[in-house]
């Protein structure tokens, strides 16, 4: 899926597309405004926009949409690392999939993280809000390994390792830290990885709105036809023609 001659070693200098640059600018702008609001003005922006558990009393209907663009105001280093990972992987994956498919993948991963986080919080006593681009970032790493398994990535900028092993390792570590309860947002992260994998591996039509509309129309027609029954034999008038009920 990568263009002919695409380099296989990923390191500093990975190109960002215009869409990727806009996304990073939006992330940075929102985070700066969040820091000013939270740390200087005392406005609980994170509480309003992060995805709060259903049982917490802080959940709002808009949070499944706003949670990917908000980040922990107490972890600016983590935010910068996330931006760096985005810089390394986003441009390459967008070049392989195209801008629309890349954005769809990114949003689907965020929605998958939100769904898994809400389900997990609904079934357990989990009470920590979820936010940030991490479900989508982990999805990008895993997807990169699926698209370009033999590409070489400089792990920690020192150790060369195949992309497929980074992909497997990311999924395994996320799952193990979740099961060990050392990663409080494990379900949130795994939801993003899982739905992104499904998007990439599932038949394209599953994510085509027109295909689902056509299936709905087809189902509606079958349902209406099922109300009519053709009975072979003579009708009440003694004719041999079948009667339709």
Model pLDDT, residue 65: 95
The span from the CA of 59 to the CA of 52, in Å, is 5
User: Over 50: is that where the pLDDT of 3 sits?
Assistant: no
Give the residue among 170, 172, 82, 56 at the shortest CA–CA distance from 134: 82
Q: Are residues 72 and 153 in the same domain?
A: yes
Partners of 9 in the β-ladder: 152
Alpha helices in the chain (DSSP H): 18-35, 45-49, 63-66, 76-97, 99-123, 134-147, 163-179, 186-201, 209-225
Model pLDDT, residue 14: 52
Domain limits for position 218: 209-244
Q: Are residues 159 and 113 in the same domain?
A: yes
Give the residue among 82, 74, 181 at the shortest CA–CA distance from 141: 82
pLDDT tens-digit series, residues 76-118:
999 999 999 999 899 989 988 899 999 999 999 999 999 999 9
The span from the CA of 118 to the CA of 63, in Å, is 11
Cβ atoms of residues 127 and 56 within 8 Å:
yes
Partners of 230 in the β-ladder: 244
Q: Are residues 141 and 237 in the same domain?
A: no
Q: Are residues 128 and 235 in the same domain?
A: no
Q: What three-state secondary structure class fits 10?
A: strand
User: Over 70: is that where the pLDDT of 2 sits?
Assistant: no
Would you mind telling me the total number of residues written for the chain in this entry? 245
Residue 7 or 20, more confident:
20
The span from the CA of 244 to the CA of 234, in Å, is 12
Q: pTM for the complete prediction?
A: 0.79
Q: Are residues 216 and 136 in the same domain?
A: no
Model pLDDT, residue 207: 60
Q: Are residues 152 and 223 in the same domain?
A: no
Q: Are residues 82 and 177 in the same domain?
A: yes
Q: Are residues 121 and 239 in the same domain?
A: no
Mean pLDDT of 141-157: 86
Q: Are residues 221 and 133 in the same domain?
A: no
Task: Answer whether residue 4 is part of any domain.
Answer: no
Model pLDDT, residue 240: 55
Task: Answer whether residue 2 is part of any domain.
Answer: no
How many domains does the chain contain in total?
Answer: 2
Q: Are residues 111 and 231 in the same domain?
A: no
Residue 194 sits in a domain whose CATH number is: 1.20.1540.10
* Structure-token match 């390459």, residue found: 92
Strand ranges for the chain from DSSP E = 9-10, 152-155, 159-162, 230-231, 243-244
Cβ atoms of residues 60 and 50 within 8 Å:
no
Task: Answer whether residue 222 is part of any domain.
Answer: yes
């Amino acid at each position: 899926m990568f263009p002919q001659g695409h380099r296989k070693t990923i390191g500093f200098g990975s190109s960002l597309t215009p869409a990727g640059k806009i996304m990073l600018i939006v992330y940075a702008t929102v985070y700066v405004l969040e820091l000013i609001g939270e740390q200087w003005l005392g406005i609980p922006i994170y509480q309003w926009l992060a995805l709060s558990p259903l049982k917490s009393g802080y959940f709002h209907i808009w949070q499944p949409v706003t949670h990917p663009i908000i980040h922990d105001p107490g972890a600016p280093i983590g935010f910068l690392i996330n931006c760096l990972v985005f810089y390394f992987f986003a441009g390459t994956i967008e070049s392989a999939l195209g801008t629309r498919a890349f954005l769809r993948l990114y949003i689907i991963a965020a929605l998958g993280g939100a769904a898994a986080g809400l389900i997990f919080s609904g079934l357990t006593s989990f009470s920590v809000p979820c936010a940030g681009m991490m479900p989508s970032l982990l999805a990008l790493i895993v997807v990169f390994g699926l698209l370009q398994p033999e590409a070489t990535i400089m792990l920690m900028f020192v150790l060369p390792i195949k992309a497929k092993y980074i992909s497997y390792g990311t999924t395994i570590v996320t799952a193990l830290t979740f099961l060990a309860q050392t990663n409080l947002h494990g379900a949130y992260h795994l939801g993003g990885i899982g739905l992104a994998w499904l998007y990439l591996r599932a038949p394209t039509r599953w994510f085509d709105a027109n295909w689902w509309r056509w299936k709905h129309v087809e189902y509606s027609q079958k349902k209406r036809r099922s109300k009519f029954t053709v009975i072979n034999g003579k009708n009440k008038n003694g004719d041999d023609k079948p009667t339709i009920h």
